[in-house]
Amino acid sequence: MNEKRKVIFPVSEAIRFSLESVKRRFGRVLITLISIIFGIAFYAAINTTAILNIYYEMEQGLPTTGIKGYQLWMAAISLLVCGIGIINTMLMSIAERYKEIGTLKCLGAMDKHVMMLFIIEALFLGIIGGFLGSVLGWSIGVGMAIYQNRLPTLWLSSIRILGEAMVISIILSVISAVAPAYFAAKLKPAEALRYEV
């Protein structure tokens, strides 16, 4: 009989598996999480400060300055460093889990299942790091405006930076994890099981 069998790997099981992996490697994950938090916080603080300055200048009838070019470059570089940190962590995660990946593939996991595990793990990092980083950065931006007595009456409208920073964090984390996840998915089971860490 030439019967094809379909391997099913539910998303709920992939999420559980990814959470277990994060718990086991909490130290390394924490370092990556801190880099995401600081990268996103820097981005959110710069944007919040710029938006609050624009609103304040509009309220006072002053010419608006907007976001300066060097601020955009600094934010872009911080996000780039954050992305490189995520790639490095995911590659180390793969190196530590060669035997696990080999075992999964021997049990019938397909390439897309292995990729899904690493993408979900990066998604967790992006959500948690993005939330904490955006709140921290927004708070710093508002705090700086209060300290400089330049808090506009429309200051609450700058809260949209939280959502924007969260989305950037999630996209950055997932994009940074694609190449390492693809590398893990393409491992041959025999090679992965023979690998010594």
| pLDDT of 41 higher than 60 | yes
Stronger pLDDT, 88 or 123, i.e. the higher one: 123
pLDDT, residue 171, reads: 92
- DSSP classification of residue 61: T
| pLDDT of 2 higher than 70 | no
Q: 10 Å Cβ neighbour count for 191?
A: 11
**Which of 15-19, 44-48, 160-164 is least confident?**
15-19
171/151 Cα distance (integer angstroms): 31
Q: Write the CA distances from 180 to 22, 87, 134, 140, integer angstroms.
A: 16, 7, 26, 33
Element (H, E) at 12: helix 11-24
Per-residue pLDDT tens digits for 145-194: 999 998 888 888 889 999 999 999 999 889 888 888 888 888 888 777 77
| pLDDT of 46 higher than 80 | yes
Q: What angle (nearest 5°) sits at the alpha carbon of residue 81, between those of residues 16 and 179? A: 50
pLDDT tier for residue 3 given thresholds of 50, 70 and 90:
low
Per-residue pLDDT tens digits for 78-109: 888 888 878 887 788 777 788 888 888 888 88
Q: What angle (nearest 5°) sits at the alpha carbon of residue 64, between those of residues 61 and 65? A: 150
Strand, helix or coil for residue 107: coil
pTM above 0.85, yes or no: no
